[in-house]
Structure 1
Amino acid sequence: MEENNRTDKEVLIKGVKRLLLCLLLMFAGPILLHISFSNDDKPLYIPLLVLSLVICVTAIILLFVGINTIIKSMFK
């Protein structure tokens, strides 16, 4: 049985979409974090801080998952 050495394009596109979402979150997270640190006297300080930290962690996780998906599409 001959193995197909071609890149799985559907999985590659899925990985690129994850990386694009990661890029969006990489900008949104630190911006929200800066906004929350500059307004520490406001009542929404803690929820905004938690939200921005969750967004930053999600961006890091999506980065690793997206790269792993792209590598799987190329090397199976």
Structure 2
Amino acid sequence: MSTNKELLSKGVKYLAWALPLLFIGPSLIYNAFINKQNVWHYLVLAIGIAVCIGSVYLIVLGLKTMVRSLFND
């Protein structure tokens, strides 16, 4: 049982892209809730939520790719 190293590195790259989004998303959401008097409140909140959803998607995709590289026939 050998590991597909190209697929494994692709999964690690997905997780590496998800790591900064894990910190940027909640900080954007926090910033949106702190600055409620600002006109851009809802736009910043929507961007923060989208970044958090993108982060979760990249994590799931990266883990799925890594598992596929480790346990593929």
TM range (shorter): over 0.9
Partner residue of 2:70 out of 59, 66, 74 = 74
Give the TM-score, by structure 2 length: 0.94
SS of 2:37's equivalent in the other structure is coil
Question: Would you identify which runs of 4 or more consecutive aligned residues in structure 1 move more than 3 Å?
Answer: none
Gap regions ≥5 residues in structure 2: none
Give the TM-score, by structure 1 length: 0.90
Percent identity for Structure 1 against Structure 2: 33
Once superposed, what is the RMSD of the aligned Cα atoms? 0.7
Offset of 1:61 from its aligned partner? 1.1
Offset of 1:55 from its aligned partner? 0.4
The answer to whether the aligner puts 1:18 opposite 2:14 as a matched pair is: yes
SS of 1:43's equivalent in the other structure is coil
